[in-house]
Structure 1
């Protein structure tokens, strides 16, 4: 989590936020034993066989590749920003490979990305607030900077926020 406070006069602001879901990826990941599909007491083997998270990484990669750059473009447009206006990108990062692909796909220079995956591994849902904390500790965030937060999740959903520090 990240704790924000109300901005004072001439302090930062949320320039835009956007969330989108592409439900065609619903079957590409999940836990089959969730809900009432398999009864733990009457079907213990089926329940156990379907209790672990599964993911079709190739399918999720295809869906993300198809839609993510357009999502980022729409977020920037809502903020009234151009790509070159962004000072720092704080992305969700499941792996160094996924982060490199996101950089290629969106066109952000590697030095504008907060890259924690190689040093700290997959932080899952905590990667955005963790990356923001790393960037702040490293002195990469200063008042007046334009920050772009980009998140992805299985299924496929995207979330983003354009924030002026």
Structure 2
């Protein structure tokens, strides 16, 4: 069975072992259809680094967690029917934890085994700590208008890099 892919990146309030809460997340299908969401969070529970580097890149149109879940489910169904696409994320242990936090472990609209893009880079002999914008530029991907630490542009870089490396 060939599994369809969906690319994803999320920005968090802070990295923690006690649940990962999305400030924003983006999904892009293999065909290039996009979903970008910002999710309401307690502004007092945001890491100072995130305050400085992520918050300025948000558009301020946040939805509730329930609205985000409904929009994600609708987006997945519109593009994949009843199939559950395989989630591809750059550092998927954080993104997958955020998905589990948002949906609950058994109600996730994605296949239960995500793909970690950093592992793909490792198998291709590429330093997993490489700056993703520099990597994209070195692969000939146009990076004009890309803002690192914005979920949508980070997902666009992820997908474009995936497409170049496959």
Give the TM-score band, short-chain normalised.
0.3 to 0.5
Calculate the TM-score normalised by the size of structure 2.
Answer: 0.34
If asked which structure has higher relative contact order (CA below 8 Å, sep 6+), I would say 1
